[in-house]
C-alpha cells in the first residue's frame, strides 16, 4: 500500500483533498497539521463523510528536529501533498517576516526530508497570485510572473523556484506545482467547508456570513475597467481543486511527469466579477444580500482567470462545478454551521 503525506490536511483545501483521497484511492493517508489556522475537528468531519480512518501527526513543519523524528516513524513515504502555509494576503502585508519564516522554512525542511529519504513525488499548493496583474488573459502556465503584490504571493513564487531547483539537483525528485485560482464552496454533503478562525478576508465566506447577519459585505471598488466595474476572478469549487490533487498524484506515481517539475493552472477558465458572484448567491439562496460599495483594496488585481487546457490534457482533469453550484454549496455549509 503506498503512503501519501498531506501537510495542512486539517485546512480548507487539505481536508477536502483528504476526502477525495480516502474515497477514491487505497493509499495509506497521513495528515500532518499544527492547527495554527484550522481546527482538529475537521478530521471528524472528514471521517464522517468517508467512514474511513487515517493517521494524523500534529507538529510545526518549522521544527526540523521534530519533523524528522515524526516522519521517520511513518516509514517510507511515496508522495507528499504540501498545503501547510499561511495564506492571508492582507495579513502577509502587515507581517511579512512571519510569512517568510512560516511558509519558506517549513517548505525547506520538508524538501530536505524528502531528498534525504528518497521521497520522489511532491505536489505543491501554489496560487494564481504569482501572475500579479497579467497583461494578457486568460493566463497560461507560460504567462510571465509579475512582481508579487504581497509577501504571501512572493512566498508562492519563491516556493515554486525552490522546488524547481531541487528537482534539477536531484533527478529522482519529481514535482507538480498547482496554481489555484480562487477556491470557494464546500463539500456537497454540507458537512465540510471553509472555517475561517478569525474574520475572513475572502469574498465567499464574507458573503455567506453577511447572509446570516454575522458580517457586513463591502464591495472593494466598482470603478475598475471591467464589464461592471468590479474585479474579476476565476472562482473554482474546492472539490474540483481536491480532485485535481488526486489526478496529479496519479500523474506523478505513474511516471507521466515529463519535465520533473510541471506547473498547472487550476481554474474553470471563466472570469466572474464580484457583483456577478453576489448575484449568483442571491439567485441560489433566494436571499437579497445587503452590501455597500467601498474603495479599492490594496493588492487586488483587476482581473485574472485561467487557461486550464494543460491541466485538462495532462491530468485528465476537468472542473465539474459552475458558480451557482459553488455558491449553493457555500450557503448550505454556512446554514450547517448555524446549527452547530
Ligand atoms: C476576491 C475579490 C476582492 C472581500 C486571495 C489570494 C489567492 C487565494 C484566494 C489562497 C477581490 C473582492 C473580497 C470583500 C470584496 N488565496 N472582495 N469584498 O484576493 O482574489 O485571492 O484569496 O488560496 O491566492 O490572493 O480573493 O476572495 O479576497 O477577493 O469586494 O469583503 O472579492 O476585492 O476582487 P483574492 P478574495
Q: pLDDT band at residue 139, thresholds of 50, 70 and 90?
A: very high
Interval between CA 157 and ligand 1 midpoint (Å): 18
Pocket perturbation via mutation, ligand 1, pick of 11, 85, 129 by most ligand atoms within 8 A of CB = 129
Closest residue to atom 4 of ligand 1, CA basis: 203
Sign of CA dihedral 114, 308, 259, 244: positive
Spell 16-49 as b/e; 16+ CB within 10 A means b. bbbbbbbeeeebbbbbbbbeebbeeebbebbeeb
Look up 152 and say whether it is catalytic: yes
Closest residue to atom 25 of ligand 1, CA basis: 129
User: Would you call 295 helix, strand, or coil by DSSP?
Assistant: coil
pLDDT at position 197, please?
Answer: 87
pTM greater than 0.95 (yes/no): yes
Rounded to 5 degrees, φ, ψ at 303 are -155, 135
From residue 313, how far is each of 32, 264, 307, 310 by CA, in Å? 31, 10, 12, 5
Taking the CA of residue 217 as reference, the ligand 1 atom at the shortest distance is 31
Pocket perturbation via mutation, ligand 1, pick of 90, 182, 272 by most ligand atoms within 8 A of CB = 182
* pLDDT, tens digit, 9 for 90 and up, residues 1-49: 999 999 999 999 999 999 999 999 999 999 999 999 999 999 999 999 9
Taking the CA of residue 87 as reference, the ligand 1 atom at the shortest distance is 10
Pocket perturbation via mutation, ligand 1, pick of 240, 274, 289, 293 by most ligand atoms within 8 A of CB = 274
Interval between CA 203 and ligand 1 midpoint (Å): 6
Taking the CA of residue 150 as reference, the ligand 1 atom at the shortest distance is 25
User: Would you call 303 helix, strand, or coil by DSSP?
Assistant: strand
* pLDDT, tens digit, 9 for 90 and up, residues 233-291: 999 999 999 999 999 999 999 999 988 999 999 999 999 999 999 999 999 999 999 99
Q: pLDDT band at residue 299, thresholds of 50, 70 and 90?
A: confident
| Residue 90 pLDDT greater than 90, yes or no | no
- Cβ proximity of 32 and 57 under 8 Å: yes
- Cβ proximity of 109 and 64 under 8 Å: yes
Which protein residues are within 6 Å of ligand 1, measured from CB?
Answer: 87, 89, 127, 129, 180, 182-183, 201-203, 206, 217-220, 231, 233, 274, 297, 300
- Cβ proximity of 131 and 302 under 8 Å: no
Interval between CA 167 and ligand 1 midpoint (Å): 31
Among candidate residues 220, 184, 196, 209, the one with its CA nearest the CA of residue 329: 184
| Residue 311 pLDDT greater than 90, yes or no | yes
* pLDDT, tens digit, 9 for 90 and up, residues 170-219: 999 999 999 999 999 999 999 999 988 888 999 999 999 999 999 999 99
* pLDDT, tens digit, 9 for 90 and up, residues 46-77: 999 999 999 999 999 999 999 999 999 999 99
From 43, 99, 113, 152, active-site residue: 152
Interval between CA 79 and ligand 1 midpoint (Å): 30
Taking the CA of residue 204 as reference, the ligand 1 atom at the shortest distance is 27
Taking the CA of residue 125 as reference, the ligand 1 atom at the shortest distance is 23
Amino acid at each position: 500500500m503506498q503512503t501519501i503525506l498531506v501537510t495542512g490536511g486539517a485546512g480548507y483545501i487539505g481536508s477536502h483533498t483528504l476526502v477525495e483521497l480516502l474515497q477514491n484511492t487505497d493509499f495509506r493517508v497521513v495528515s500532518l497539521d499544527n492547527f495554527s489556522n484550522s481546527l482538529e475537528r475537521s478530521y471528524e468531519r472528514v471521517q464522517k463523510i468517508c467512514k474511513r480512518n487515517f493517521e494524523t501527526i500534529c507538529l510545526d513543519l518549522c521544527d526540523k528536529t521534530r519533523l524528522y523524528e515524526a516522519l521517520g516513524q511513518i516509514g517510507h513515504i511515496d508522495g507528499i501533498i504540501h498545503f501547510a502555509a499561511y495564506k492571508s494576503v492582507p495579513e502577509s502585508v502587515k507581517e511579512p517576516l512571519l510569512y517568510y519564516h512560516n511558509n519558506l522554512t517549513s517548505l525547506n525542511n520538508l524538501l530536505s526530508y524528502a531528498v534525504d529519504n528518497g521521497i520522489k513525488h511532491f505536489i505543491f499548493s501554489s496560487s494564481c497570485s504569482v501572475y500579479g496583474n497579467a497583461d494578457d488573459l486568460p493566463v497560461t502556465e507560460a504567462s510571465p510572473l509579475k512582481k508579487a503584490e504581497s509577501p504571501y504571493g512572493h512566498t508562492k513564487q519563491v516556493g515554486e523556484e525552490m522546488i524547481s531547483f531541487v528537482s534539477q539537483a536531484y533527478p529522482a525528485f519529481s514535482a507538480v506545482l498547482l496554481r489555484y485560482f480562487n477556491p470557494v464552496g464546500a463539500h456537497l454533503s454540507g458537512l465540510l467547508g471553509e472555517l475561517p478562525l478569525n474574520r475572513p478576508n475572502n469574498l465567499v465566506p464574507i458573503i455567506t456570513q453577511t447572509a446570516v447577519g454575522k458580517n457586513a459585505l463591502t464591495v472593494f471598488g466598482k470603478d475598475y475597467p471591467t464589464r461592471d466595474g468590479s474585479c474579476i476572478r476565476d472562482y473554482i469549487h474546492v472539490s474540483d481543486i481536491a480532485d485535481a490533487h488526486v489526478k496529479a498524484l496519479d500523474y506523478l506515481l505513474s511516471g507521466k511527469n515529463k519535465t520533473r517539475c510541471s506547473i498547472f493552472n487550476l481554474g474553470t477558465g471563466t472570469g466572474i466579477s464580484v457583483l456577478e458572484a453576489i448575484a449568483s448567491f442571491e439567485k441560489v439562496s433566494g436571499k437579497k444580500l445587503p452590501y455597500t460599495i467601498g474603495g479599492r483594496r490594496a493588492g487586488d488585481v483587476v482581473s485574472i482567470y485561467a487557461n486550464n487546457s494543460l491541466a485538462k490534457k495532462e491530468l485528465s482533469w476537468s472542473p465539474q462545478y459552475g458558480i451557482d453550484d459553488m455558491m449553493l454549496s457555500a450557503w448550505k455549509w454556512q446554514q450547517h454551521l448555524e446549527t452547530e
